[in-house]
Amino acid sequence: MKTKNYRKAVQSLLSQFSKDEKAPITHSIFTKAHAADIAEIISHVSEDRQLKVFDALDVKQRGDVFVELPEDLQSEFIEETDDQRLLALFKELEPDEAADFLSLLDEDRQQELLSELPQRLQRKFRTLLLYGEESAGGIMTSILLTVHAGDTVNMAIEQIREYKSDEIIINVYIVDQNFKLIGSVPLQNLIIADGKAKIEDIMELSPIAVNVNDDQEIVGQTVRKYNLLSVPVIDDAGKLLGRITMDDVIDVVHEEADEDVYRMAGVDSDEIHVDSGFAIARMRLPWLSICLGGSMVSAFVLQNFESILSKSMVLIAFLPAICAMGGNSGLQTSTVTIRNLTYEAVFHSNRKKLARRELLSGVIIGITCGFLVCCISLLWLGNIIYGLIIGSSMLLTIFFSTCTGFFIPIFFSKLKIDPAIASGPLITTLNDAMSAFIYLAMASLQLKYFGLL
């Protein structure tokens, strides 16, 4: 009931700020609101009031709200805020969030802010900035709770009591004298253990970890595969550098899913942050140029079969249906294949099995659709030969499209190219051109065979 009332209050507040441009902006309005809800309110108000609402928050709230804002709003606020206020905001962020914050600044402004910090923090943030934004090092937090194997449970619990951070403790990590990761203990196991027991007696040896240079997609796959709530991050020598928690992984999963959706449509994922129509057009034109080239191939095919089309004009009526079915069946197969590749469900050992399954489904769907369109064309045109041409073309087109939808993403994956690029415009354009060729080639062969040309 409390949750329902809270959401109702938030919606009322959102409505007030969205509709009433003269609504007073005071800190007291947001005192009990969650940071994510305040960020939602800021995103919905008019552009000239967004920074005013943000400034009405106290410094602590600003840090929590800032990380919930869309990246384009974060960049806008940074540009319009002076260095002293930025520094105050910066100090409220966790290390991984602060590194993301710094990455939005130009090089000179980064150095200015970093120079205002103690040397210890400067080294920490400069190290985080070395890692790629989409790597394990780029999303990890360097705040850690570590103990040694020879410590007792009571000593570890005492360290937890002295642990000063808002970060949630899920696992306590065990390191050696060189800070190499050797084990971990879930917090609940530590609490129920005998206080005099040694950590080495209750720790889990060689915990699942990710390398600091691993792509964030690998991090997401690791967490999903092993059902982890947090995962330690190590370097090539096994030294513990940080950890990645579930909230960061959820963000990664959403980000990777968004990227795949954009790529499957041939769109740049940065487009959402761009206001200029010229810039968006520049991002979209490369893929559309490729599609235009594919369409020219289709036009070339049609031109080369002009004599057949001129003598059997009725065949043109079924060309869009043939091409559409080819594109749709290829897109279905590629979507499933890309999903399997993303979740590592395609292995060398099962690749033949998956290929047989997809190709068999292509044959079955092709026969079914081919038979149906053959019957429709027979009733419509009253000519069995045209029915055979259209039906057999539908069968071959769907089978070919299924092959491209399965093998092209796997081929891209073998080349270490994101298979999502292979879907959408690329496969659809290829299948359109091949569908037109198959249809007209089948028409040419069968019409000649039956003496109609």
Helix (H, G, I), strand (E, B) or coil at 232: strand
CA dihedral 353, 358, 364, 365 (to 10 degrees): 170
Q: What is the pLDDT of residues 75-91, one digit of tens each?
A: 888 878 787 887 777 77
Say if residue 242 is in the same domain as residue 310: no
Q: What is the pLDDT of residues 353-364, one digit of tens each?
A: 888 999 999 999
In whole angstroms, how far apart are CA 230 and each of 174, 185, 186, 202? 15, 12, 10, 19
Q: Which of 452, 347, 328 is nearest to 401 (CA)?
A: 328
Q: Tell me, what's the pLDDT at 9? A: 62
Q: Tell me, what's the pLDDT at 181? A: 96
In this structure, is residue 352 part of a structural domain?
yes
Residue 7 CB partners (closer than 8 Å, separation 6+): none
Say if residue 158 is in the same domain as residue 125: no
Average pLDDT, the chain: 81
Which residue is listed with tokens 């092209």?
A: 408
Q: Tell me, what's the pLDDT at 56? A: 77
CA distance 245 to 168: 9
In this structure, is residue 63 part of a structural domain?
yes
Say if residue 111 is in the same domain as residue 229: no
Q: What is the pLDDT of residues 190-211, one digit of tens each?
A: 999 999 999 999 999 989 999 9
Q: Is 309 a residue whose pLDDT tops 60?
A: yes
Which one has a higher pLDDT value, 57 or 174?
174
Q: Tell me, what's the pLDDT at 194? A: 92
Q: Tell me, what's the pLDDT at 348? A: 61
CATH of the domain at 294: 1.10.357.20
Q: Tell me, what's the pLDDT at 199? A: 93
Kindly list the strands in the beta sheet with 181-186, ordered across the sheet, starting from the edge strand earlier in the chain. Answer: 146-147, 171-175, 181-186, 204-205
Average pLDDT over residues 226-245: 92
Q: Is 1 a residue whose pLDDT tops 50?
A: no
Q: Tell me, what's the pLDDT at 335? A: 84
Which one has a higher pLDDT value, 45 or 140?
140
In this structure, is residue 375 part of a structural domain?
yes
Q: Which of 402, 379, 375 is nearest to 390 (CA)?
A: 375
Say if residue 25 is in the same domain as residue 174: no
Say if residue 339 is in the same domain as residue 432: yes
DSSP strand pairing (181-186 vs 204-205): antiparallel
Q: Tell me, what's the pLDDT at 40? A: 81
Q: Tell me, what's the pLDDT at 29? A: 64
In this structure, is residue 255 part of a structural domain?
no
Q: Is 243 a residue whose pLDDT tops 60?
A: yes
Say if residue 102 is in the same domain as residue 29: yes
Q: Are the C-beta atoms of residues 419 and 412 closer than 8 Å to each other?
A: yes
Which residue is listed with tokens 């009332």?
A: 5
Say if residue 111 is in the same domain as residue 223: no
CA distance 174 to 203: 8
* Final residue before a domain boundary, out of 214, 246, 278: 246
In this structure, is residue 401 part of a structural domain?
yes
Average pLDDT over residues 291-319: 80
- pTM score: 0.66
Q: Tell me, what's the pLDDT at 34? A: 81
Q: Is 7 a residue whose pLDDT tops 70?
A: no
Which one has a higher pLDDT value, 254 or 275?
254
CATH of the domain at 110: 1.25.60.10
* Final residue before a domain boundary, out of 102, 135, 168: 135
CA distance 185 to 172: 5
Q: Tell me, what's the pLDDT at 108? A: 81
Percent of the chain topping pLDDT 70:
86
Least confident of 8-22, 78-92, 114-128, 195-209: 8-22
DSSP strand pairing (146-147 vs 171-175): parallel
In this structure, is residue 256 part of a structural domain?
no
Average pLDDT over residues 271-277: 65
Q: Tell me, what's the pLDDT at 11? A: 64
Average pLDDT over residues 286-298: 78
Q: Are the C-beta atoms of residues 78 and 103 closer than 8 Å to each other?
A: no
Tell me how many domains the chain contains.
3
Q: Tell me, what's the pLDDT at 211? A: 95
Average pLDDT over residues 438-450: 87
Residue 269 pLDDT level (bands cut at 50, 70, 90): low
In this structure, is residue 264 part of a structural domain?
no
Determine how many CB atoms are found less than 10 A away from the CB of residue 111.
13
* Final residue before a domain boundary, out of 135, 170, 200: 135
Structure tokens that stand for 7 in this block: 């959401």
Say if residue 38 is in the same domain as residue 122: yes
Residue range(s) defining the domain that contains residue 165: 146-246
CA distance 407 to 411: 6
Q: Tell me, what's the pLDDT at 306? A: 78
In this structure, is residue 315 part of a structural domain?
yes
Which residue is listed with tokens 């089948």?
A: 442
Say if residue 290 is in the same domain as residue 409: yes
Query: Dihedral sign, CA of 30, 32, 34, 37?
Result: negative
Helix (H, G, I), strand (E, B) or coil at 136: helix
Say if residue 7 is in the same domain as residue 85: yes
Beta bridge partners of 141: 243
CA angle, 331 then 336 then 340, to 5°? 145
Q: Are the C-beta atoms of residues 39 and 68 closer than 8 Å to each other?
A: yes
Which one has a higher pLDDT value, 422 or 81?
81
3-state secondary structure 191-228: HHCCCCCEHHHHCEECCCCEECCCEHHHHHHHHHHHCC
* DSSP structure class, residue 135: B
Say if residue 91 is in the same domain as residue 150: no
Average pLDDT over residues 308-314: 76
Say if residue 163 is in the same domain as residue 85: no
Separate counts of helices (H) and strands (E) for the chain? 21, 7
CA distance 41 to 367: 54
